[in-house]
Amino acid sequence: MVGARIYIEGGGDAKDLHARCRQAFASLLRKMGFEGRMPRLVACGGRSQTYKDFCTAMSDRRDEAWVAMWVDSEEPMQDNEAAWEHLSSVDRWVRPTGAADDDVLLMVTCMETWIVADRQSLSKRYGADLHESALPPLDGLESRSRQEVQDALERATTGHQHAYRKGRRAFALLAEINPDTVQAHCTSLARCRRILDGRL
């Protein structure tokens, strides 16, 4: 869709990290088959700022433009389709006028869940330094807390000079994942793909 914009949680306050965030999500979208119909990606930094930027964009948008927000769910979800109900419960966010559940793309429970779902990409990056046994099982991955997933990813890569850390290394890992592999374990990515395919 012409003028489509997605406001993304990530990148903190640094311009360099904002660029890396945009690049990582652009890489993911291309692998998902959206080359040639890419939206404008806006890295917003913190979670609250992402919501504020999305609300402003919703109030200013033209009727033909699709505006979306791409954030972590922060907590496991009972119903991946009920985006605003979940965000109201977790963040106390109010749904902007005109916003639909499909205007929110969710990583359940966090970006690292998708990274952990692709063991092959992690093995390629970390080789013998990857302690795969430290990672959570693939079954029920989206039911695990973000802290559990993030801590496990740190432990599993701790022996490598480029061990996982929030920020640029996390975005580098996101850029490398295979969405087909991740989608087999994460229904939240399948939902994102379905929505994007209908909107872009």
124 and 70 in a common domain:
no
pLDDT of amino acid 13 = 76
> For 8, phi and psi rounded to 5 degrees?
-110, 135
Number of structural domains found in the chain: 2
Query: How distant is the alpha carbon of residue 84 from its chain centre?
Result: 16
99 and 181 in a common domain:
yes
86 and 15 in a common domain:
yes
pLDDT of amino acid 60 = 86
10 and 89 in a common domain:
yes
Cα separation, 112 vs 47, in Å, equals 15
The residue segments making up the domain with residue 142 are 112-167
Q: What is the pLDDT of residues 152-177, one digit of tens each?
A: 999 999 989 989 988 778 999 999 99
Question: What's the DSSP call for residue 38?
Answer: P
Cα separation, 21 vs 23, in Å, equals 5
pLDDT of amino acid 2 = 59
121 and 62 in a common domain:
no
CA distances from 141 to 10, 11, 59, 122 (A): 21, 24, 36, 16
119 and 106 in a common domain:
no
pLDDT of amino acid 61 = 80
119 and 65 in a common domain:
no
Question: Are residues 68 and 176 in contact, defined by beta-carbon separation less than 8 angstroms?
Answer: no
Question: Are residues 126 and 160 in contact, defined by beta-carbon separation less than 8 angstroms?
Answer: yes
Question: Position of tokens 């490598």?
Answer: 160
pLDDT of amino acid 65 = 85
Question: Are residues 148 and 136 in contact, defined by beta-carbon separation less than 8 angstroms?
Answer: yes
85 and 15 in a common domain:
yes
Cα separation, 192 vs 34, in Å, equals 12
183 and 98 in a common domain:
yes
For 187, the token pair is 């229904």
106 and 76 in a common domain:
yes
pLDDT by position in tens, the chain (length 200):
558 999 999 877 778 899 999 999 999 999 999 999 999 999 999 999 999 999 999 998 876 789 999 999 999 999 999 999 999 999 999 999 999 999 999 999 999 999 999 999 999 999 999 999 999 999 999 999 999 999 999 999 998 998 998 877 899 999 999 999 999 999 999 999 999 999 99
Cα separation, 67 vs 8, in Å, equals 11
For 18, the token pair is 């904002």
pLDDT of amino acid 145 = 96
CA distances from 90 to 34, 75, 136 (A): 31, 8, 24
105 and 28 in a common domain:
yes
154 and 85 in a common domain:
no
